[in-house]
Each structure stands twice: as structure tokens, then as C-alpha cells.
Amino acid sequence: MPSWIGSRNAEAVTVTLSEVTRPMKAVEEPRSALAQLRTGDAAFSQGRWVAAADAYQQAVDLDPALAPAYNGLARSLLNQHRVGDAIEQARRALALTPANAEARATLSVALDWSGLIDRAVDEATEAVHLDQESPRAQAALAEAYADQYRLQEADEHLVRALALAPNDPEVHRTQGVIRESHADYVGAVESYRRAIDLAPQWSYLYVSLGHALRAQRSYDEALAAFSRAAELCPTDARAEGGRGMVFHAREEHEAAAEHLHRAIAIDPTYATAYAQLGWLHYGRREYDKAEPLFGRAIDLDRDGARIAQYRHALGWIFLSSRRTSEARDQFQQALSLNPDLQGARDGLALIQGPGTSQAQPPTPAHLRRR
């Protein structure tokens, strides 16, 4: 037996081991803000939006002046379609770094998705002014212009974004948006698939793909895309909403209603789901059910073109029950938002005199990506 094994030496060895283990406690101390920022960036690249948001939130809790963490948090929230929260966090990033083109581009996209398109253009224009070499700024301005139907300008900025970052999935998603605005759904599908090739775990890309496939009436493929989005990010109401819209297009009304109600359960502020349920009941002449749904969509939405459509539908609902004064008011408000809305003009003409047939307003294309 070695001479060093004994009661006294055993105690000495114990003390030595104890001393050796003490410094390891430092590893268990709270992580630094920069370490949390890196954790958030890693989770973001993998499409784990909730984990990324949690890490970025911890980073700003540790260091409230860490602007990149606010921008990362904003993007993580936006990709879950928590648009209002994303706007708030992007603004916090800009409060710390007003010349940050990336944060301003994030704010622009969030404003655009919330329906505040004119303000989105303003923010994206400023982002490009701050950094013309930022592909995200160029892409944000392209998307905002597309939603204003300024398609030539949208195309120009998209070309710049692609030249700057040909392998950025977000830039390819924007290309898909612009191709949809041109009614080029085949091209849009191609762009979204390219984005997914570059970032196969990014859930919201499948949402965009699903809507483009739905517009092509490729319903089975669209359902598969929305299902993949829901699998990757169960907290994004748009995946369930997209499935509901596909079932609605296939006239499978019970399944459509089920998925749209699920979307509302995930996000009670998701205006599109209320509107789609309204269109579903409207098409079945269930006006008593459609009316409050359109009313709720009007309360939640910020996009004037979409709200015009909802008011247009309400006008016909009121007219069907001879609530003429309320119908007139809805048609007039719809036209104040969209003077070219022929259905609202027809409604007013019918109120003023006979000779105009009643027609059901179509589901607007503006709901495609939102």
C-alpha cells in the first residue's frame, strides 16, 4: 500500500480537492449580456424564434444599452408575427442607435406587416439613406413599395438587395412578395423555395410559400407548407390561418372554421383570421355571424385597403336587413379608404335607386401574406 494513503493524508487530499473545485463555481454564474446575445444569434439562425427571443431578452435585462439585442428581439418577435411587440423593440434599438439602418429596416417591415405602409416606406427610405449597402434596408424599401403598388421602384430596390446579398433568405422572401404583387405566383413560389433552401428551419418562409401555392390553387402543397410552418413555430397564428384559408378555398367550411378559430386562440389580435371567418359566414349568407367578425377585424387592422373591404361587406350585410342608413355609412367609409371599390359604389347606387344588382365582394388579395 502506498505510504501516502492514511487518515492524515486523506484529509489533506480532501482539502486539496475542495480547493480545486472552488473556481468551477464561476462557470455557474449568470451569463454576460454579450454571451446571451451570441446565444440569441445562434438560436435565430436555427429558426428557434422563441428561444432566440428569450436569450435576447435576457441580454437586454443584463445590459439595457445593448442595441443589437433589441434588434434581434424585434426580428424574433416579428418572425412569430408578434408585430406590435416587434415594433416596440425596434424602436428601443433606434432610441439607442438612431443611425442603425438594420434596426430601421426591421421597424419598416414590422410597420408594413401591421398595415402602416406609408410609415413603413418612410422608415425604409431613411434606412437606405443611412446605409445604401444594407441589403435588408433595400429589401425593406422594396417590400413597402410593393405594398403601395409602386412596383417599378420595388423592383429597382430588390435588384440592389439581391446584388448585395444573393444568399440572404430574407431578400429572397422579399423577391417572392414582389412577384406576388406582379401576380407572378409561379415566380413567387420559386423565390420562396429558394429562401427555404437557404434557411429550411425558418417557419415564416413556409407561410409565404403556402399563400403563393394557395393562389395557384395548389391546395395540397399549400397545406403541406402551412403544416410545416405550424410544426416549426406553433406560436405563429398565420400557419393555422393559412390552413383555414386553404380549406375555405376548397369549400370545406367546417375545417376552415376550425383552423381559423385555432389561429384566433393563438393570437386574439390576428385581424386576418377574424376577417376570413367573416368571409366564410358571408359566403354562406350567415350574416348574423359575419357582422361581428368584420367589426372585430376593423378594430384590429390598420391597413386601409383591407378595412375598406370589411366595411364594404358590412354595407351589404346591413343592406340585406334593410338597415339602410348604416349600410350607406359603411359604403361611404369604404370609399373614403378606397375610392375605386366598385362594390361600395354599387351599394350606394342601390340605396339611391333600383337597377344595380347586389354582388358578393371577393376576398381581397391584401390578405395573402398577412
DSSP letter string, 153-201: HHHHHHHHHHHH-TT-HHHHHHHHHHHHHTT-HHHHHHHHHHHHHH-TT
Distance CA 229, CA 213 (A): 14
Is-contact 189 211, C-beta < 8 A? no
Report pLDDT for 30: 57
What are the pLDDT tens digits along the chain (370 aa)? Answer: 333 333 323 333 333 333 334 444 444 345 799 999 999 999 999 999 999 999 999 999 999 999 999 999 999 999 999 999 999 999 999 999 999 999 999 999 999 999 999 999 999 999 999 999 999 999 999 999 999 999 999 999 999 999 999 999 999 999 999 999 999 999 999 999 999 999 999 999 999 999 999 999 999 999 999 999 999 999 999 999 999 999 999 999 999 999 999 999 999 999 999 999 999 999 999 999 999 999 999 999 999 999 999 999 999 999 999 999 999 999 999 999 999 999 999 999 999 875 444 444 544 444 445 5
Q: Is 34 exposed, middle or buried (0-12, 13-18, 19+ CB in 10 A)?
A: middle
Query: Using an 8 Å Cβ cutoff, are 240 and 225 in contact?
Result: no
Question: What is residue 296's predicted lDDT score, i.e. its pLDDT?
Answer: 97
According to the model, what pLDDT value does residue 360 have? 47
Q: Are 233 and 76 in contact (CB under 8 A)?
A: no
- Boundaries of every domain in the chain: 270-370
Q: What's the confidence (pLDDT) of residue 96? A: 97
Start-to-end C-alpha separation, the chain: 77
The phi, psi pair for 32, rounded to 5°, reads: -75, 165
DSSP of 201-253: T-HHHHHHHHHHHHHTT-HHHHHHHHHHHHHH-TT-HHHHHHHHHHHHHTT-H
Q: Which fold has domain 270-370?
A: 1.25.40
- Give the pTM: 0.85
